[in-house]
């Protein structure tokens, strides 16, 4: 009887320990500190950004800048250089969006309305033979 009690205690302990380890393993990707001496020269090469809010394990408001070659920089949202870089990224996105809209508006229609096949209403012989053989 003592063996069964020991097995149940060990199994219960292992079950509770495994869930605690799993919960600790699920962490968020966030900035835990700001990069110091962030320069405009660095930030102007950013491809995109993400605003980090204070929530969960992320206890610091930050702006995460993403650069080529998977480089990341965490900036203070109150820093003047960071705000300048955010404005630059916003303007870049507007310019690209307007260019995309203009190119889509100037495109010709893909279909002229007339089919290029001789008789588009009739089915092919292959389709007809497959349906007859069943």
**Beta-bridge partner residues of 67:** 71
Are 34 and 75 in contact, with CB atoms under 8 Å apart? yes
Give how far Cα 125 sits from Cα of 41, 121, 131, Å.
66, 13, 10
Q: Note the pLDDT of residue 113.
A: 60
The ranges assigned to domains in the chain are: 29-102
Are 62 and 34 in contact, with CB atoms under 8 Å apart? yes
Q: Note the pLDDT of residue 57.
A: 85
The CATH code belonging to domain 29-102 is: 2.40.50.40
Q: Note the pLDDT of residue 18.
A: 41
Q: Identify the segments of the chain with pLDDT beneath 70.
A: 1, 3-28, 107-134
Alpha helices in the chain (DSSP H): 2-25, 40-43, 80-105, 125-133
Indicate the average pLDDT of the chain: 75
């Amino acid at each position: 009887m003592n063996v069964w009690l020991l097995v149940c205690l060990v199994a219960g302990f292992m079950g509770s320990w495994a869930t605690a380890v799993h919960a600790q393993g699920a962490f968020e990707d966030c900035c835990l500190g700001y990069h110091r001496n962030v320069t405009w020269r660095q930030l102007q090469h950013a491809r995109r950004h993400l605003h980090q809010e204070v929530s969960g394990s992320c206890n610091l408001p930050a702006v995460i800048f993403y650069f080529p070659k998977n480089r990341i920089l965490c900036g203070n949202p109150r820093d003047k250089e960071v705000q300048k870089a955010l404005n630059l990224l916003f303007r870049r996105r507007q310019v690209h969006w307007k260019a995309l809209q203009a190119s889509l508006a100037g495109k010709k229609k893909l279909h002229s309305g007339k089919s290029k096949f001789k008789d588009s209403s009739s089915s092919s012989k292959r389709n007809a033979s497959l349906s007859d053989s069943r």
